[in-house]
Structure 1
Amino acid sequence: MATAITPLIERQALAELNTLRDGPGWLRLASHLLTIGLGGVLWRLESLPLPLRLAGLVISGVGLATCFAPLHECGHRTVFRSKRLNDVVAWWMGLLSFYNADFYRRYHQWHHRYTHQPGLDPELEDPVPTTFAAYLRELSGWNWWTGKLRGHARLLWGDLSQVPYLSPEIIPQVRRSIRLQFGVYSLLAALSLVAANGFLLWSWLLPLAIGQPFLRLLLLAEHSGCAYSDDGLANTRTTLTLAPVRWLMWNMPFHAEHHLYPSLPFHALPAAHTWIGPRLQHLDRGYLAVHRDLLGRLASLGQPA
């Protein structure tokens, strides 16, 4: 796809935008983790007023849910110059956001290869909501939680031989990764029981559940209502939004730019937008505007026959 749209960005500018730098990644990662930590402290301090504690719960939960963003960026290995460092950070961010990084990287590569093409893009295995009830269920996070539980169970014990993006050589690596991840969860659960503090529930599961609707609202906008085709200018949406949202999502709202040039690091996407934005078919101002539009045509959002 990149060869088809190369004229959108001049060669020299593209080379500069593609330059990997560690500084922006470390700064964004540290500030993201600090947000989760500060929110968690506010939530668990019983001496604070309830409204302040609930604000901390929301902040911590949104921070945990949006760990999906650094997982995604490190999965592309564009946050840091070291491939190994990208993989390690992706794994831990996946652990916090209840994704498995080793599986997700292969799944997501397939999504990029066949973006929004029915029968090929694995993201389309999760149907777009076409009724108001289905829309609310999607935003609640219910579909995500149940899908994650089924998916992780399959990774742990199921038959993976028919998954097109998992080669026979990769499957043992993915199984080791998911088993290690659930080993960490089991250890945290055991420590929570011994300490009788409910840490796993109150400091991770509950906040993550609270933050999940925020993430669902953003992710549903990326391709819903866009063309079911291989045209990168038409099958993905960029949403112009507030700076805090761009910060939490590591510039993922510039999603069409990311799909057209997936080698670009997250900090280069705003500059890439100045080149690409005028050519996009789906460039929306704000997520509320996107969802108003989607709600107005829910019945037509399903996959083409």
Structure 2
Amino acid sequence: MSDILDHTALIKALPAETKAQLTKRSDAAGLRHLALYLGAIALCMLGIAVKVPLWPVLMLPLGILLVFLFTLSHECTHQTPFETRWINEVVGHFCAVAIALPFVWFRYFHLAHHKFTNDPERDPELEHGPRPSTLGTWLIYLSGWGYWRAMLSTLITNARGQAAASYLPDRRQKDIQREARILLAVYGVALASLLYSPLLLWVWLIPVLIGQPFLRAYLLAEHGLCPPVANMLENSRTTFTNRLVRFLAWNMPYHAEHHSFPNVPFHQLPAFHAITRAHLKSTSPGYAVFTGEYIKHLQN
């Protein structure tokens, strides 16, 4: 495969045994990663709860860990982090509570994104308009304001039974409504608890607010500045980064690879990257570099 291929030709050219190996899922790999991830969250929360010296500083790494649960939720929509189906479902719903991302609804939203990646007319990630094009809209985007507003609106709409997007199947409407009502009830109890203790403010609410800009910057690199074409090796970006970021994002910096072959679980993406690397059309040598390039494209 020395010639440059698009994603469909590349996947078609893979031997059957290679495809089988690449798509092999593992509870052990997923649970090991999850244990390390949740352990890091627990350590940060414990340090804040017992008020170790300089404990407010821990809210930043905690916030980054919490908001990057988005990438785990995203993987769970594909049923790939774990071999056992119910574990994917439980973990996906856990992430939903932490970051206000209703899991049942998000699965269909995200599958539509895969089907129409970077299509300005049909990609649901672009349904509220294109990615930021001015410095002002970029800063607002980084703040996370758009995300929190959209999720609150989605939860309220879904709870009313008014979810009407074309990608949402009628058979799941009751599940989507029930999910939204449960999440809103949980958040109501959480807010009420602040009348008795500010703990959730320090270990959850403030951290997810200050962590959101890091997730927004990361997500913008996935498809920002990529052309609206059908080739997943071109409309999605792979960003070369360090192990810490790959750990946080469950190897999703290999994003062109993920879009090309979504059935590949996170722990197999490095192996798939070795196969796809020569065919990648959109890459960046780091998130700082991408951000610098993106800023250059912003209008004053």
Q: Same fold (TM over 0.5)?
A: yes
Question: Equivalent residue for 1:138?
Answer: 141
SS at match of 1:222: helix
| 1:3-14 matched pairs, under 5 angstroms | 3-7=8-12, 9-14=14-19
Tell me which residue corresponds to 2:114. 112
| Contact kept? 1:61, 1:207, Cα under 8 Å | yes
The alignment's TM-score, normalised by the length of structure 1, stands at 0.91
What's the counterpart of residue 36 of structure 1? Answer: 41
Alignment length (residue pairs):
294
- Counterparts of 1:147-296 in structure 2, within 5 Å, are 147-157=150-160, 159-161=162-164, 163-193=165-195, 196-296=196-296
Displacement after TM superposition at 1:178 (Å)? 1.4
Amino acid at match of 1:143: G
Provide the alpha-carbon RMSD of the alignment: 1.8
Partner of 1:303: none
- For structure 1, the residue ranges without an aligned partner over 5 or more in a row are 301-305
Query: How far does residue 8 in structure 1 lie from its aligned partner after superposition?
Result: 5.7
Q: Which residue of 2 aligns with 1:24?
A: 29
CA distance in 1, matches of 2:157, 2:9: 37
TM-score by length of 2: 0.93
Aligned to 2:3: none
The runs of 4+ residues in structure 1 deviating greater than 4 Å are none
Separation of aligned partners in 2, 1:132 and 1:259:
29
The aligned amino acid for 1:151 is T
Structure 2: distance between partners of 1:269 and 1:280: 14
Q: Which amino acid aligns with 1:133?
A: G
Q: Is the 8 A contact 2:155 2:184 kept in 1?
A: no
- The more displaced of 248-257 and 55-64 is 55-64
Cα distance in 2 for residues equivalent to 1:32 and 1:9: 33
Deviation (angstroms), 1:43 = 2.4
Taking every aligned residue pair, what percent have the same amino acid on both sides?
35
* Structure 2 gap ranges (5+): 1-5
- The yes-or-no answer on 1:49 pairing with 2:81 is no
C-alpha displacement at 1:192, in angstroms?
A: 4.1
Work out the CA distance in 1 between the residues paired with 2:153 and 2:237: 29
Deviations 1:136-174 (A, max 9, x none): 11111122122222222211226223x111122111111
Measured in 2, the distance between the counterparts of 1:58 and 1:293 equals 26
User: How big is the shift at 1:49?
Assistant: 2.5
